[in-house]
Amino acid sequence: MAELTTTKLNAESHLLLDQPLLRMPYEQSRKTFNQARKYIQHEQTSVQKTLKATASAALKASQNPSSPPPTDVLNNLDAMITKMQSLKRKLVDLNTAELATHASTQARLAHLQSLHTIPSLADVKYEEWSRVRLNRLLVDYLLRSGYGESAAQLAREKGIEELVDLEAWGQCARIERSLRAGRTQEAVVWCADNRKGLEKLGCNLEFELRLQQYIEMVRSCDTKKLIEARTHARKYLASHSDTNFAIRAAGLLAFPPETEAEPYKSLYSPNRYSHLASLFLTTHNALYSLPSRPLLHIALSAGLSALKTPSCHSAYASSSSNASSSTTTVCPICSTELNELARNVPYAHHTKSYVENDPVVLPNGRIYGRERLKRLNEKLGTERGKVRDPTDLNVIFEERAVKKVFIS
């Protein structure tokens, strides 16, 4: 049975659990700002050009009072007003999204700040805070597993909509499904919206998507499509830093879709869409600094590791020790529910050890003080030359198998 020792969970695990709380709103706010700037710059350039032409035409008309008023001036003014109204609608929508992001950020900051106001882990407020985080981890797990509706319902019931990223993960799930269904357009649009961030990551997702579009054009074997494919390759694929990338793409023109030659057989394979979906998920997580595993798995592995000791999976451990329910044993790792789950996690790093005087170790890995072990076996009337395990009285070892432990 494992000893329950107070340990600190891994600091990296804490960072992974709480970092997405603030990282995702930050990235969404940055994206909204970039979109607003893009809209303004585009309309500014267009309106300034039109305004300059309109002013010139109006000046010429004013110098010749007898000529009729130019219709181009009025049309240009109407066009500029329409563009400004369209820009206003776009900016209002972005402002609404930005306000929602700010509200979510404030709620998340308040959630994290409340942890620092709790004086002790034994305080009932810490239990309440932990339940909120557990619900958040469950929502994250459901979203990553594709259960968006269940995740949204759980978030509504627990009142944590502002602490989870339902919309972002919903968009991610839609793009993943579209890729697995053989459609690349949504993913291409997503890459265009996040191009600067993807360039910093050095990601090839957009090139891979453009390559897939090229492959579909070549697959058709239609003359018109093949001409489009060549234009597409010059526009999107020729700039790739890896020359072999463009060479493989060009080689597709010489091989039919049913070819057995590699790498063209793999390029034509429908399994490439699954590869693109996996690549998109990896890129999405890297862009938002999200761990590849669900946050629930990280928290669970950290907790299991904090409680796990070598005796929990000892080869000599009795079947009754590992098969008992969590309600009948002190050690959670030795319970039926968690024992196998914790088998592959690392052992906890204990900064303090509590060992009895003159410790000895039994063949099953359990350590006891020699004098206490001797007195207990005398009370139990254990046969001379034998040693009974105090934890499980049905386990008996030869006395010569007991070894002294040296603490280093």
> 333 and 319, same structural domain?
yes
**338 with 374, same domain?**
no
Can you tell me the mean pLDDT for 147-159? 93
Residue 48 lies inside a defined structural domain of this protein: yes
**308 and 204, same domain (yes or no):** no
Q: Is the pLDDT of residue 312 over 90?
A: no
Average pLDDT over residues 321-328: 40
How far is residue 99's CA from residue 364's CA, in Å, rounded to a whole number?
61
Most confident option among 182-191, 263-272, 297-306 = 182-191
* CA–CA gap between residue 279 and residue 263 (Å, rounded): 19
Query: Are residues 369 and 381 in contact, defined by beta-carbon separation less than 8 angstroms?
Result: no
With cut-offs at 50, 70 and 90, classify the pLDDT of residue 66: low
Statement to judge: residues 241 and 212 lie in one domain:
yes
Residues 85 and 205 in one domain: no
Asked whether residue 161 falls in the same domain as residue 33, the answer is: yes
Asked whether residue 392 is assigned to any structural domain, the reply reads yes
User: 160 with 18, same domain?
Assistant: yes
Read off the pLDDT of residues 164-193 as tens digits, 9 standing for 90 and up.
Answer: 988 889 999 999 999 999 999 999 999 998
Q: What is the mean pLDDT of residues 281-305?
A: 87
- Comparing C-alpha atoms, which of 307, 295, 298 is closest to residue 141? 295
Give me 37's structure tokens. 């700037």
The β-bridge partners of 360 are 368, 404
Note down the domain range covering 309: 298-342
Q: Are residues 200 and 241 in the same domain?
A: yes
Query: Is 360 a residue whose pLDDT tops 80?
Result: yes
Describe the chain by its helix, strand, coil percentages, rounded to 5.
Answer: 65, 5, 30
Domain boundary among 147, 165, 183: 165
Angstrom CA distances, 250 to 95, 128, 233, 264, 272, stand at: 45, 60, 8, 10, 18
| Rounded Cα distance, 96 and 53, in Å | 35
Say if residues 308 and 5 touch (Cβ distance below 8 Å). no
Beta carbons within 8 Å of 385's beta carbon, 6+ residues apart: 398, 399, 400
Residue 260 has a pLDDT of 86
264 domain residue, yes or no? yes
Please report where in the chains the tokens 């805070």 appear, as a residue: 129
Does 332 reside within a domain? Answer: yes
Assigned domain for 350 exists: no
Could you tell me the pLDDT band of residue 34, with boundaries at 50, 70 and 90? confident
Residue 65 lies in a domain: no
pLDDT beyond 90 at 158? yes
Lowest-pLDDT range, 252-266, 304-318, 361-375? 304-318
Note the pLDDT tens digit of each residue in 39-59: 898 888 888 888 887 777 777
Asked whether residue 16 carries a pLDDT value surpassing 80, the answer given is: no
- Identify whether residues 195 and 223 lie together within a single domain: yes
| Domain final residue pick, 110, 140, 165 | 165
The domain total for the chain is: 4
Task: Check pLDDT > 60 for residue 90.
Answer: yes
Query: Residue 395 domain-assigned?
Result: yes
pLDDT at 280 over 90: yes
On whether the pTM is more than 0.75, the answer is no
Q: Which of 130, 165, 200 corresponds to the end of one domain?
A: 165
Question: Is 293 inside any structural domain?
Answer: no
What is the pLDDT at residue 53?
A: 79
Given a cut of 50, whether residue 320 has pLDDT beyond it is no
142 plus 179 within the same structural domain: no
User: Do 217 and 247 share a domain, yes or no?
Assistant: yes
pLDDT, tens only, 187-232: 999 999 888 888 888 888 999 999 999 999 998 888 888 889 888 8
- For residues 89 and 147, membership in a common domain is answered with yes
Distances in whole angstroms, Cα of residue 394 to Cα of each of 1, 332, 339, 381, 382: 15, 22, 21, 13, 11
